[in-house]
Structure 1
Amino acid sequence: MTLDEKTARKLVRMLQQIEDTTKLEGVAVVTRDGVRVACAESANVDVDAISTASAAIINTSEATAMQLGHGSLSEIIIKGDSGYLLITRVDDEHMMVASSRDIVRLGLNLGVLKRYSRSVAELLAQAKAKITAPITAPLTTTTPQLSQSTSMAKEEGVSDKEAIFEALRALGLEDAVTEIQSQSKKAIEKAERI
């Protein structure tokens, strides 16, 4: 079931307001499976690519947080030399993602995203709809969804974890793959010592 038109437009307006009042871009609501639910209409980045990568990042980060005993995942910050990606929990099924090159305002932008994520959660709860299809589609390229990448990888005998890493590499996020692998290895080593 998808959002009704009124709720969908309200959600898009909310996301657009974030972009209009901050230096965040590519603001979107995505499912934990990497499906874009809605994005700001002026999104000038490939939101579908970010959605797919976010699913891989969320799943890996969630597993790591649980292994370390840190509880459920609430937010993820991936910071590069010239920008960052923020992923914030909306509810059990949805996350908000956004990116920015404004490193100085990282904390402020994270606060804005967290505040809006509560409003988005309320809106989705009021709609009582399971989100299954995108609302707006400013596509710049066609990117296979994570589930497609994983299915193709399984046919080739590659594990889910490696399929996720391949999807991230395809999006040019090699540094993220290296960092995730390093953090996962450390978490596993720590868990084995306990």
Structure 2
Amino acid sequence: MNLKKYAMLGLCTTLVLSAAIGCSSNNVSQNSNNTATSETNLITSNKAKDVMNDKVPGAKIVEFSFDDSGKTPKYEGTLVKENTQYEITVNATNGKITDFEEEQAEIIEETIDIKNSDKYIGEKKAKSIMLKKVPNAKIVSFKLDKDDKTHKYEGELRKDNKEYDISVDAKTGKIIEFEQEDNN
């Protein structure tokens, strides 16, 4: 009789443990699904630009980038209207403005930048050049850098646990810098 009790106790213990493991793996699966869903529910870059333009109607976006390196992914933009420069940060998960700065821009520099920006290859073409260099990569950061004499689009891309930094001449479309780094 004792043997039957131990056999039943063993069977019940196995069933309870199996059910617990099944529930645990189901929760892990649900959590990973929630994470994937939250990453894919980011607002688009066009939506972020609309939010920025709604905040400063009539302004021209002269710099724009996406940054997901921090706790909350965000879009950052520099806009110019007349002689005022605006720095705007938009939360990429909910589309709300998280930072807004306004300052007087130098009129001469602004005019030169706007005239020169018409000769640039454009954001779309620069991204295309970067993705052609590293096919199937994800662009995690992108901006137009006008600090140096040569204006350039700078991008940070990720693919297969590798990080790529690429700079593209904003006027010619030539890759002027390319670095690859392992993330291991």
Q: Which bin holds the TM-score, normalised by the shorter protein?
A: under 0.3
Higher share of residues assigned helix: 1
Greater C-alpha Rg? 2
Higher share of residues assigned strand: 2
TM-score of the pair, normalised by structure 1: 0.25
TM-score of the pair, normalised by structure 2: 0.26
